[in-house]
Structure 1
């Protein structure tokens, strides 16, 4: 197995997970406790990557992040190079594609917190930030851990989006899921089997952790 591809996949999954949690926590707080009328639209958009075919999402991201669009030109100005077919493009695409796996568990965790607890904290003079960091995040920690595991695993195994937006560049955008595709195309079934076993093991371990935390939460 190519150690460079393994490291790139791991780095992509870790970075995507960390950035997604930083973005998803405030978004989920707003989705749970916000009162804007257009909140269902935002929630639908955040869930849309779960339903779209990866190639469709990858195609539109490739067009949107290209030099012919304003967002694409802005990112090129900030980063200094085109986003498409680069590691930066993989991170952006992975974040958008895995967004539902962060939003759904964290929103469910926030929604499960008793409103009476939040009202009591407000009456005691706690501000929004203090309620978020001292109350919501500790009480929803299992949901946040579940979101982190799902985002990490989903990023490790994603194929369509990373192939569309990143291509198949060794050392730059080739991930494990693309590597196994290349191995099968070249009839290297033994290597493909080793890569597949690794991806299968990661997915199985993630599910065991998620279900284990779920049972502990129900017993607590």
Structure 2
């Protein structure tokens, strides 16, 4: 049996977990502490991938990331290659799909922060950016870790969005979930069972880690 799809899923999950805090932290901070018009609209836009059917989101990303799309055209101008049907493309799609799964728990963690800390920082002359890195971020590391690990596990099981954006190119975009689906379609139940059983303990271990992090935070 070829284990390449499982390794590709692990690679995708790792890079998603590594990059998602860069996107999620400022957005979660803005939603937790911001007071501005359109906040509810921004919140809905960020949360939309969580409730939208994956195939619908995948089709939208396919249009945006295609050669005639905004992101796809810019990527082709910069790199000379296509964004869709590539690892970079499925990583971009994974970040968009997983963004609300990181923002929501991180936002909840930030909202528990004592507002007096931020008020004291402002009185001492710290800028909002300095307050974020010196006060907010150190006090929400547990929530950030839990969100990142949750995103890692969620990335391992991505199917609809990845299939729409990346197709099923062996060694490039054929992740484990797609390989399992194709194995079942081809009646290769042994291969599907082995790959499925390889994912179960990984997901279980991730949940145990998240539970321990939440227990320490409590």
Distance 1:91 1:181 in 2: 20
Q: Which runs of 4+ in 1 moved over 4 A?
A: none
1:4 aligns to what?
Answer: 4
Shift, 1:204, TM fit: 1.7
Structure 2 gap segments, 5+ residues each = none
2:215 aligns to what?
Answer: 215
Q: What does 1:106-121 align with in structure 2 at a 5 Å threshold? A: 106-121=106-121
Is 2:21 aligned against 1:21?
A: yes
1:186 aligns to what?
Answer: 186
SS at match of 1:169: coil
SS at match of 1:103: helix
Listed one character per residue, the Cα deviations across residues 140-176 of structure 1 (whole Å, up to 9, x for unaligned) are 1111011101111111110111111101100110101
SS at match of 2:66: coil
Between Structure 1 and Structure 2, how many residues are aligned?
A: 218
Distance 1:69 1:216 in 2: 45
Q: What does 1:197-212 align with in structure 2 at a 5 Å threshold? A: 197-212=197-212
2:37 aligns to what?
Answer: 37
Shift, 1:48, TM fit: 0.5
Give the TM-score normalised by the residue count of structure 2. 0.94
Structure 1 gap segments, 5+ residues each = none
Shift, 1:72, TM fit: 2.3
Shift, 1:114, TM fit: 0.8
Superposed CA RMSD in Å reads 1.4
Q: What does 1:33-72 align with in structure 2 at a 5 Å threshold? A: 33-72=33-72
SS at match of 2:82: coil
Give the TM-score normalised by the residue count of structure 1. 0.93
Distance 1:182 1:196 in 2: 13
Distance 1:73 1:177 in 2: 29
Distance 1:23 1:46 in 2: 11
